[in-house]
Amino acid sequence: MMRDVRKYGAAGDGVTPDTAVIQRAIDDGGVIFFPPGRYLTGTLYLRDNTHLYIGMGAELFASPDLNDYNKADFVPQNGASKAECTTGGHLIVAHECTNVMISGGGKITGNSSAWLTQPDPSCPILLKTELRPAQMLWFCECTNVRIMDLDLGDAPYWHCFIWGCEDVMIRNIRIRGNRRVQNSDGIDVDCSKNVIISDCNIDTSDDCITMRAVNSRLKTPRACENVLVQNCILQSAYANTIRIGVGGGEICNVVFDNLMLLGYLRGIKMNCSWNAASRGVNIHDIEFRNIRNFTRCPVTMRGNNCHLPAPPNSAMHHIRFRNISGTLEQSCFIEGENDLIKDISFENIDFVCHGKGPAQDLSADGLWGHISTDAVFELHDVKELLFRNVKIRYADGISGWTTECRAVNAENLHFENCDFPL
């Protein structure tokens, strides 16, 4: 049954709070239709077999009042990140739901300027992080989720979080985050199974798409597995277009295909652990193929992001990079320890090098992650690497690079039909 929120009393004028009347429509079930208008709302709770149809010209606009959002402890799985200044509140919540869908061609807007307005003194190109809601769309331990044909934007934190879910399709989503807001990730997939993300256009300040393995709060801990990301344009202003590896579980059977990666820093970043407190992630059977890269650093793979020993459960193996071309300005780092990183292959790779080779980790504008050496590929403590049909070229007038590949404590390296001119 189609339920028009206007008939329930929604004003849709962007000023009158519409949360209560929209929630009544959702509780009645069926297809919840939003005609053109701006609907000011706090947290909305989806139910089983619910479809939010946000039509063209309609916008769900996040309330500027933190009191209009769920509490951090409203369900056992939820919480607030003190380190990243979030309340644990969300705009749309789907908790342990079956058959939920959001579509229609309209917009969902997070209203980040309600909480984030002042420049960060340590890095003025970003805004100082103040207390704010958490993930804008929060799907937790749901089954059969569809998010299609929407614009998401201006989230104060992550735009869309898929956590502990199964059978998920995200298609034709356009995400535009505020480039000055820290942690404004696009889509984060965590401990979820059978997920397809396709035909999306994501432009954020932070990570565009992440694969995570944080299972400690879930009722049913599971691996992050069987994920396909295809036909997307991903652009990150200051972080990674793709990031893999946070938590303490398993990430496996993931394919990234037919992507364009754009941005200020990294294309693909993989870590078994993020900091000293991480439990360690087992990452395996991941494939990247048919990718055009125009980020500064196409690939970084490290055991621990903070250059500390990786936890005992960490591993990164059977990772494939195929048919990747584009440009780079910084070294591609593959750094492990013992048997942590092994069985990695690069096939049909064509990079044109810009930049100047060696660079400090901290850039002039105060952002981290710019470290580079004079080697295009910097390999440390890794095993079983294959480079097949890898071509490295250098842009006119570029100097500073002295070698295509430097290997330190690396075993079983194989080079087949590679074009390394230095």
Tens of pLDDT, residue by residue over 237-267, are 999 999 999 889 999 999 999 999 999 889 9
Residue 396: burial class (beta carbons within 10 Å; 0-12, 13-18, 19+) = exposed
Tens of pLDDT, residue by residue over 106-137, are 999 999 999 999 999 888 889 999 999 999 99
Cα separation, 354 vs 266, in Å, equals 14
Kindly state the average pLDDT of the residues 286-299: 97
pLDDT given for residue 301 in this prediction: 95
**Residue 310, both tokens:** 């990786």
Specify which residues 302 forms β-bridges with.
271, 335
- The sign of the torsion formed by the CA atoms of 123, 127, 133, 134 equals negative
Strand 107-109 to strand 160-163: parallel, antiparallel, or no bridges (unpaired)?
A: unpaired
Q: What is the mean pLDDT of the chain?
A: 95
Residue 419 clears pLDDT 80, i.e. is over it: yes
8 Å CB contact between 256 and 287 = yes
Kindly state the average pLDDT of the residues 157-166: 98
Looking at domain 2-416, which of 2.40.30.40, 3.40.50.880, 3.30.420.40, 2.160.20.10 is its CATH number? Answer: 2.160.20.10
Residue 142 clears pLDDT 80, i.e. is over it: yes
pLDDT given for residue 314 in this prediction: 86
Confidence of residue 313 (pLDDT cuts 50, 70, 90): confident
Residue 421: burial class (beta carbons within 10 Å; 0-12, 13-18, 19+) = exposed
Cα separation, 296 vs 372, in Å, equals 10
Kindly state the average pLDDT of the residues 371-392: 96
pLDDT given for residue 170 in this prediction: 98
Confidence of residue 413 (pLDDT cuts 50, 70, 90): very high
Beta-carbon count within 10 A of 277 CB: 8
Query: What letter represents residue 238's amino acid?
Result: Y
Kindly state the average pLDDT of the residues 283-293: 98
Cα separation, 126 vs 130, in Å, equals 12
Residue 367 clears pLDDT 80, i.e. is over it: no
Above pLDDT 70, what percent of the chain?
Answer: 99
